[in-house]
Amino acid sequence: RNARQEPQVDVVVVGAGFAGLMLLHRLREAGFSARGFEQASDVGGTWYWNRYPGARCDIPTTDYTFGFDPELEREWTWSEKYATQPEILRYLQFVADRYDLRRDITFDTRVDRAEWDDAAQLWRVHTSGGETVTCRSYVMATGCLSVPKEPEIEGAGRFRGDVHLTSRWPHEGVDFTGKRVAVIGTGSSGIQSIPLIAQQAAELTVFQRTPNFSIPAHNGPAPAARVDQLRADRDAYRESARWSRMGVPGEATELKGVTTPEDVRRQRLESAWEAGELQVITSVFADQGTDPASNEIVAEFIREKIRAVVTDPETAEALSPRDHYFGTKRPCLDTGYFATFNLPHVRLVDLRKTPITTITESGIDTAGESFEVDAIVYATGFDAMTGALVGVDVAGREGVSLQEKWADGPSTYLGLMTAGFPNFFAITGPGSPSVLSNMAVSIEQHVDWVAGCLADLRARGMTTIEPTALAEEGWNRHVADCAAITLHPTANSWYMGANVPGKPRVFYPYIGGVDGYRAAADEVRERNYLGFRLTGPDGEQCT
């Protein structure tokens, strides 16, 4: 190890969203030097790009917020139960200012390639700005839903009208007044934007491949019960979030759907409907995620609500999800989504009955009809969880790329690291609870774990950390086993990689819960980095 070199900085962090910002702050606190790179022109990550009308978070603001600094919490007040994109972006800008983080970040700059130099024991990171930076540790805080999926629709390039992607919305906004608009996609982005686009457009046609479960957000002031709990004892509230299943404190029921008396079922379902929270509607019954019959009780309750709102029975049926179990695709929160289809100028096209045959110069042809439109909005989703990671050419030991290693699906230890890539960390990587949880809580857990790990290495005079192949295999098996006992793998969801043609079909996030995950990550650290190999000038340690 004589060739060990001193890097220019201790850590390079890619991405300046929630994760990258907090990591830069923690690293500075711990006395590490760091540089951040961000392809956008400012901080915000997901909330920088997704500026489409109606874009909001689907976790209440009481919970979707940093909890690591009580001072920060005292200085910021959210205005609503679910914050809009502009408010979340302002919050992240406030965080960047508050901790003076921008001075460590180079904006408008992508990291194109990062390679591990085993002799020098450091990463060489190459940017789109032509710079090469050396660092001991390389962290990708690049988000789970940050790389838009290609609209793989025949003729997509031919359309002459306006084309918009919800995830790359123009900063100056879009005026649809008097326009005939097509929206393709009815995931969360479609469901949030459709009611607002309908308010402007002369005609709106929604092209739906799969109907989605959605419940009303009941937006307004933050829920009184949560606000009171938080005010009474902030630390206890945040701690209970850290040890909850989804990263949002709440009741864990033992009631099973099928054996619960009808009146109790009804009461629980109605109150979950009123709560308008994902954490509540996904835990009405203990077994709704594992037992098809129990799941169907929740699913049918939501379909009944759709039928009660949508006046045309055929449209109501087309909007009613029947192809997947409730919760196996991320359910949505909406404001007036289903009622939008009662408006005379709004039409639903069911692509299961009449698929799109091609996009033309002036509109969209389906198997049944041709539609002339002035604008097409693609709300078609993301190459989730791994898209941003394999989108950078990351080369580990012996030049093996992450893309090659993960060709048949991602492989990680704790969703944080992968063998063959020393000192490379992913925040909210595949195999972490991330997208199945309140991201704010999961991000804080990952960031604290990574910053703590780097401080531990420094304290012990160690240079590198890397999982053993055995530990990684064990974690992958555990991630798959946890998913296998749920209904999740049955769905064609982005959790399964099913939305991107050719993407390996495995369950990407960890479904064992924020609480279970934290316990595992804590135990690994307490047991001297169990499952990791650490090396330093004086040799190696492997537990």
Task: Name the residues that contact ligand NA7, by CB under 6 A.
Answer: 145, 152-153, 184-190, 209-210, 330, 351, 379-382, 494, 499
Closest approach of Cβ 330 to ligand NA7, in Å? 4
The full DSSP string for 301-357 is HHHHHHHHH-SSHHHHHHTS--SS-TTSS--EEESSHHHHTTSTTEEEEETTTS-EE
Q: In the complex with ligand NA7, which residue's Cβ is closer, 367 or 519?
A: 367
Q: In the complex with ligand NA7, which residue's Cβ is closer, 434 or 445?
A: 434
Q: In the complex with ligand NA7, which residue's Cβ is closer, 365 or 448?
A: 365
Q: Whole-angstrom Cα distance, residue 342 to residue 316?
A: 10
Q: Whole-angstrom Cα distance, residue 186 to residue 386?
A: 22
3-state secondary structure 505-542: CCCCCCCCCHHHHHHHHHHHHHCCCCCEEEEECCEEEE
Burial (CB count <10 Å: 0-12, 13-18, 19+), residue 113: middle
Q: What is the greatest pairwise CA distance in the chain?
A: 75
Q: In the complex with ligand NA7, which residue's Cβ is closer, 169 or 237?
A: 169
DSSP assigned state of 349: E
Q: In the complex with ligand NA7, which residue's Cβ is closer, 46 or 65?
A: 46
Closest approach of Cβ 329 to ligand NA7, in Å? 7
Q: Whole-angstrom Cα distance, residue 476 to residue 438?
A: 22
The token pair at 246 is 């989804």
Closest approach of Cβ 489 to ligand NA7, in Å? 16
Q: In the complex with ligand NA7, which residue's Cβ is closer, 8 or 357?
A: 357
Cβ count near 516 (within 10 Å):
16
Closest approach of Cβ 192 to ligand NA7, in Å? 8
Closest approach of Cβ 50 to ligand NA7, in Å? 8
Closest approach of Cβ 184 to ligand NA7, in Å? 5
Closest approach of Cβ 141 to ligand NA7, in Å? 17
Q: Whole-angstrom Cα distance, residue 294 to residue 260?
A: 10
Q: How much of the chain is helix, strand and coil, in % rounded to 5?
A: 35, 20, 45
Helix (H, G, I), strand (E, B) or coil at 454: helix
Closest approach of Cβ 385 to ligand NA7, in Å? 11
Q: Whole-angstrom Cα distance, residue 439 to residue 21?
A: 14
Q: Whole-angstrom Cα distance, residue 75 to residue 97?
A: 12
Query: What's at 514, amino acid-wise?
Result: V
The token pair at 212 is 């989605």
Distances (CA, A) of 52 to 85, 165, 167, 168, 169: 9, 8, 7, 8, 6
Q: In the complex with ligand NA7, which residue's Cβ is closer, 30 or 351?
A: 351
Q: In the complex with ligand NA7, which residue's Cβ is closer, 249 or 381?
A: 381
Q: In the complex with ligand NA7, which residue's Cβ is closer, 109 or 212?
A: 212
Closest approach of Cβ 17 to ligand NA7, in Å? 13
Cβ count near 202 (within 10 Å):
12
Closest approach of Cβ 164 to ligand NA7, in Å? 13
Closest approach of Cβ 439 to ligand NA7, in Å? 9
Q: Whole-angstrom Cα distance, residue 100 to residue 216?
A: 38
Q: In the complex with ligand NA7, which residue's Cβ is closer, 375 or 450?
A: 375
Helix (H, G, I), strand (E, B) or coil at 166: helix
Q: In the complex with ligand NA7, which residue's Cβ is closer, 135 or 298?
A: 298
Residue nearest to ligand NA7 (CB): 187
Distances (CA, A) of 18 to 430, 444, 529: 17, 9, 26
